[in-house]
Structures are given as structure tokens and as C-alpha cells.
């Protein structure tokens, strides 16, 4: 499972917000301190720059507390902060030690912006800082000593590389943890959590593009008898077998997941009810014709399926699950091994309401 970029952004948001708040407090404190120090030395323009950045950071600190647009405020901090840093090192009064602040650029950039945008912003501002450094100290033989320059270049490169590697490693770890949290351990299919995330994303897309979206609820028939007759190992093997069948017979754009036990949910993207019924029938027939054996014994498997469509049967995942579940139990009552689609004149779930079924799924 490849994590969606929006999902990665959501995962990183608390981490980045904490870093931003800490940096804002540091910027406020250091801005006030260095503002007074520069004012005492007579460097009024530099003092005003420091105080202005401290005041701006105080405003940002208030703004980011409850914002839903953290990424925008991060850019609103980083770009002026780095620009003010460039202005500070470019002033005639700035000594070579002031360039030590430039080492914060790769660290702050990656922590707040991630590995891609963080690297772009880092390289841009490091290039500006390098140009300013060469222009200011081009005639100073002590500062431009090859060993001193080499040390600064290597140190800056190390911090940049380490920051980037850290972000790459953090992203991979979060993706792996997210995959584990959203995957059923037995079948390898998405679990309820992943189904919900996928549905919300595809519902938004279906609304934007005016495309249909359908849901199937599948339940393996007489599965308790499979466990009782052949053993739980055979039951687990049957679940894995059915999961593999779903993986091979559905499109890459669709999603099949395990709701629990022998019950599965399937989200069919860009699929209206009529096509969803055909897909359900194909799956039902494929399982009925399958040759699953355990210890030389044939394990017969069939399934019952309920079908629901977004907009027709409700607007939320809860709506569709309830309606499809109701039709699933109707299939059970009618003898199993069948698909129950919407019937002409059958009541529908109004928008925002849930049709009650024999069982609440989520």
C-alpha cells in the first residue's frame, strides 16, 4: 500500500506543528535579545529587523494554535525567516560568525516542509547565502582560507544530507506503521480503518467528477460449518484463498477489505448499480467454481452479497453499509449463494440518514 500524499501530510502535521511552535518561541526570544544587543552597539536597522521578526513570530504563534491550514502558516514563517536571515548576514555590520545561523536552514527546512519541498527551499537559500558570503569576504584572506571554507562546506553538506535522510527514514517508518495499522493480518487485505479512509477520498472524487460509486458487502456462507468440519486452519486458508481471489478479479482502482470474520467489503470506483451487480455475480460464480482443497478434501465455498450505491442508497459509508447489509441478510434468508440488488420501489436512505439493518457494521 502506497500512502496517499494527503495521508502523509496528516501524519506529519502534529510533528511539524510542535516543531513550528518551538521555533516561533525561539525566534521571539532571540529576536528580542539580539535586537537589544544590536541597538546597544548602534546597529539600528539590524535591531529593527530582529524586533520585526520577533513581533511577526508572536503573531504566527497565535495564528497556528487552532489553524486547519498549518502548511500555509509554515511557509508564512519559513520564507520571511530565511529571507530575514539573508538580510542579516548581508548587512555590513555582520561578522563571519553570523553565517553560523545558515546551518539552521537545512534542519528547519526539512523538519517543517518534508524531504522534497524542504530540500528545494534549503538549496535555494543556501545558494543565496553562499553568494553573499563570497561577495562579502572575497578579499579577506583569513576568512577565505581553503581549510576554513572546506570545513564550512563539509559541515553544511553533512547537516543537509543528515536532515534529508532523517525525513526519508521518518516517512518510510510512518508508511510502514500506517500499513500495519490498516491491514488485516491474516488476509493482507485492508481493514475497516483503511476502507473508511479510501471511501472518504473516493466519495469526494465521485462528487467532483460526477461519477458513481458502489459498495458490496460479501459474507461467506456456512463458514462456521467449514471451521467445524475441516478445522480452523482450513477456515483461515479459505479466508486467504478468497482474499487472493478478490485481489486478482477486481480492478486496481477498486478496494476490497475485510470487515471482520468472514465478512468483506468492496468499494467499486466509477461503478453504478447495474455494473456492480455484474461484478458481484462474477465474484460469486468464481468462488462457487473454485477448487479449494485442504488435506485432500474439497472445501465448498459460496457467498451472499448485498449491493448499494452512493447517492441512491445514502451519502455516507454508514448509510451504504447499512443498506448493503440489509440486502446481504435478505440473500441469506432467500437461500444464500446469491446477489441481492436494489429492488424497484425499495425504500432508499435519505441523505444524512441511516437505514437500519440487522447489524451495524461501523
Catalytic residues: 262
Instruction: State the Cα–Cα distance between residues 279 and 353, nearest whole angstrom.
Output: 27
Question: In this structure, what DSSP letter does residue 96 have?
Answer: G
- Partnered with residue 190 across adjacent β-strands are 183
Neighbours of 288 (CB within 10 A): 13
Residue 277 C-beta-side C-alpha neighbours within 13 Å: 9
| Interstrand relation of 255-260 and 263-269 (parallel, antiparallel or unpaired) | antiparallel
Instruction: State the Cα–Cα distance between residues 45 and 91, nearest whole angstrom.
Output: 9
Instruction: State the Cα–Cα distance between residues 61 and 24, nearest whole angstrom.
Output: 6
Of the candidates 90, 171, 160, which has an alpha carbon nearest to the alpha carbon of residue 121?
160
Contact 273, 307 (CB under 8 A): yes
Q: Which three cell numbers stand for residue 125?
A: 537559500
Amino acid at each position: 500500500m502506497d500512502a496517499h500524499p494527503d495521508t502523509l501530510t496528516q501524519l506529519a502535521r502534529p510533528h511539524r506543528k510542535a516543531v513550528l511552535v518551538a521555533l516561533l518561541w525561539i525566534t521571539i526570544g532571540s529576536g528580542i535579545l539580539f535586537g537589544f544587543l544590536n541597538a546597544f552597539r548602534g546597529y539600528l536597522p539590524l535591531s529593527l529587523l530582529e524586533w520585526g521578526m520577533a513581533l511577526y513570530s508572536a503573531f504566527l504563534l497565535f495564528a497556528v494554535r487552532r489553524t486547519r491550514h498549518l502548511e500555509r502558516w509554515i511557509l508564512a514563517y519559513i520564507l520571511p525567516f530565511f529571507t530575514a536571515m539573508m538580510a542579516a548576514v548581508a548587512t555590513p555590520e555582520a561578522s563571519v560568525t553570523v553565517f553560523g545561523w545558515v546551518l539552521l536552514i537545512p534542519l528547519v527546512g526539512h523538519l517543517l516542509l518534508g524531504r522534497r519541498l524542504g530540500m528545494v527551499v534549503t538549496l535555494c537559500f543556501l545558494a543565496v547565502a553562499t553568494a553573499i558570503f563570497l561577495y562579502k569576504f572575497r578579499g579577506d584572506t583569513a576568512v577565505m582560507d581553503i581549510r576554513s571554507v572546506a570545513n564550512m562546506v563539509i559541515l553544511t553538506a553533512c547537516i543537509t544530507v543528515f536532515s534529508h535522510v532523517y525525513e526519508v527514514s521518518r516517512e518510510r517508518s510512518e508508511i510502514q506503521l500506517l500499513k500495519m495499522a490498516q491491514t488485516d493480518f491474516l488476509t493482507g487485505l485492508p481493514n475497516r480503518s483503511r476502507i473508511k479512509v479510501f471511501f472518504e477520498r473516493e466519495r469526494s472524487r465521485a462528487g467532483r467528477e460526477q461519477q458513481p460509486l458502489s459498495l458490496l458487502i460479501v459474507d461467506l456462507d456456512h463458514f462456521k460449518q467449514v471451521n467445524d468440519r475441516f478445522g480452523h486452519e482450513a477456515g483461515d486458508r479459505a479466508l486467504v484463498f478468497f482474499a487472493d481471489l478478490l485481489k486478482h478479479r477486481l480492478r486496481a482502482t477498486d478496494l476490497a477489505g475485510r470487515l471482520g470474520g468472514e465478512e468483506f467489503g468492496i468499494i467499486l470506483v466509477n461503478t453504478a448499480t447495474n455494473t456492480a451487480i455484474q461484478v458481484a455475480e462474477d465474484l460469486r460464480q468464481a468462488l462457487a467454481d473454485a477448487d479449494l482443497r485442504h488435506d485432500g478434501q474439497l472445501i465448498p465455498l459460496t457467498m451472499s452479497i448485498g449491493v448499494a450505491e452512493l447517492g441512491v442508497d445514502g451519502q455516507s459509508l454508514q448509510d451504504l453499509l447499512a443498506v448493503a447489509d440489509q440486502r446481504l441478510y435478505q440473500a441469506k434468508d432467500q437461500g444464500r449463494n446469491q446477489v441481492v440488488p436494489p429492488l424497484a420501489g425499495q425504500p432508499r436512505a435519505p441523505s444524512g440518514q441511516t437505514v437500519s439493518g440487522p447489524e451495524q457494521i461501523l
